Structure 1
Amino acid sequence: MTAETENDTEQLRELITRARVVLWDFDGPICRLFAGHKAERVAIDLVDWLEGRGLHGLLTDDERQSLDPHVVLRAVDRRHPGSDLVAELEERLTQEELRATSSAMPTAYADPLIRTWTAIGSRLAIATNNSPRVVRTYLDGRGLLPCFTPHVYGRTQNLHQLKPDPHFLRQALNAMGAAPAAALMIGDTPSDLVAANRAGVPFLGYARNERKAKVLREAGAESVVQSLGPVLEMLRAE
């Protein structure tokens, strides 16, 4: 074991053992929501829906071609904040996410890690840019909802609250009466890292491949794992 690996292991152990509250991002660390129901197709459908209403000019070429439904949603909200159009678009995205739950792929080791953390007395919450209805539907199907209830915080029609804004993290901490330093955020994107930093919450990056790990490290994440297996092992050993 190299000194660097030893340092990484010690840093990971400290993050895990210090956490009394664990805030999870949903899509990525807990499951791949769009594993069988492609997010790219959802984004294209949202763009088509807007264009079918004569609203082609609402999006730039880059936004139309982003293949990310959240990019489309945020773009419309920037131009028409709080409008009925945004509300309808957000509901359409929620319905697509709900459809995706039936083919979502659980992240390896996430289920036992969630159960283990709950069993040793840590409190868990979700802080996600997905719809809370979607999160509850998925967790209920896996028998995991009691591990989080009632602390599921996610997208509403107030889209300015989406990460990287720390709103959902602060909402969770306030509801649980937890200090930021006693919490841990597990996320898989730079926006999760930024939200955690703004909320003063230590961050553990989850990346399912080296490309995603590189993106997180370049964004400033100090602790990144490519599998939740070592986290589970460490927790059980403690």
Structure 2
Amino acid sequence: MVRQHLEHHRHPGLMMSAIDLLSRARAFLLDFDGPIAALMPSPANELAAREARRPLMGVDLPLEIESASDHLAVLRWARLNADDATSLAVEAACTEVEIDAAGKCDPSPTGARLFELASELDIPIAVVSNNSTLSVHVFLDRVGWLDQVDVLACRTPETVDLIKPSPHLLRIAADALRIPIEDTVFVGDSVSDVIASKAAGCPVLGLAKNERRRMELVGGGADQVISLNAAAF
């Protein structure tokens, strides 16, 4: 009945196709930062990257890491290039800034609609995120969405090597839901999300914050792309 209802309320163009893609899914796999939460808008992202670099003081960093505004880029570099103790210190710093941001950031415009649509379709939700499990839990609990999420497949200190663009977290989520991954849809807002989805065999709906990102997502192979601010799809 709900799927028939959606058929009668299609939107034109890409919006119609996005509804078709979502309404065929047996589960939603949702990225966290972007599709659900506006976790670290500028300049918060730059402050987070600075905190992530703090345990690396005295380490000769490449320019792209020294100037990075993405704390996860710093974390990936530390995991590959620093000793275990330093890498764990960077992970702890990243988790701390994420938890702080999760305690005060706003939901994304698409977030409420994705949860609403999953409820209408009576399908489960998994949150699949490169952000820490603790920070995602804090946010979902704060905004009242935690009880609507069936699985959290997020970063832990043990899985830093396996975050997106690796397909590992997506596969973990689908396995936990006991649903073939090709019968899910992943909603993400970055090229690494698209790469992970394609490697996992999962259809992907891209959310673009601007025209440049839209072109990147389309070029990366997203099945459909809509605006990150599209709350009425």
TM-score (norm: length of structure 1)? 0.86
Query: Which AA in structure 2 matches 1:74?
Result: R
- Tell whether the 8 Å contact from 2:127 to 2:153 is kept in structure 1 after alignment: yes
**Rounded Cα–Cα distance in structure 2 between residues aligned with 1:168 and 1:12:** 23
Match of 2:69? Answer: 67
Counterpart code for 1:225? I
SS of equivalent to 1:129: strand
Which residue of the partner structure matches residue 214 of structure 2? 213
CA-to-aligned-CA distance 1:52-89 (integer Å, 9 cap, x gap): xx3x22x21121112211111111111247x1221121
TM alignment of 1:163-182, pairs within 5 A: 163-182=164-183
Given candidates 4, 14, 17, the residue that maps to 1:8 is: 14
Aligned partner of 1:201 in structure 2 is 202
- Please identify, of 112-121 and 102-111, the stretch whose mean Cα deviation from structure 2 is larger: 112-121
Corresponding residue of 1:79: 81
1:18 partnered with 2:24: yes
State the distance in 2 between where 1:22 and 1:107 align: 16
**Residues 55 and 89 in structure 2, CA contact (< 8 A), matched pair in contact too:** no
Higher strand proportion? 2
Distance 1:77 1:109 in 2: 32
Give the unaligned 5+ runs of structure 1: 232-238
| Residue number in structure 2 paired with 1:235 | none
- Post-superposition Cα deviations, 1:21-54, rounded to whole Å, max 9, x if no partner, equal 1000000001110137611112123224411xx3
2: CA distance between counterparts of 1:213 and 1:103?
A: 28
Cα distance in 2 for residues equivalent to 1:115 and 1:41: 33
Look up the equivalent residue of 2:93 and give its one-letter code.
R
1:154 is aligned to 154
Q: Shift of residue 119 of structure 1?
A: 4.3
Gap runs ≥5 in structure 2: 1-10
CA distance in 1, matches of 2:213, 2:13: 21
Aligned length, in residue pairs: 221
For 1:63 and 1:35, the matched residues in 2 are separated by 19
CA distance in 2, matches of 1:9, 1:36: 28
Q: Secondary structure in 1 aligned to 2:17?
A: helix
Q: Structure 1 99/7 Cα, relative in aligned 2: closer, same or farther at 3 Å?
A: closer
TM normalised by structure 2 equals 0.88
State how far apart, in whole Å, the 1-side matches of 2:134 and 2:43 are. Answer: 17
Deviation, 1:9, is 4.3
Superposed CA RMSD in Å reads: 1.9
Greater share of helix = 1
Equivalent residue, structure 1, for 2:133: 132
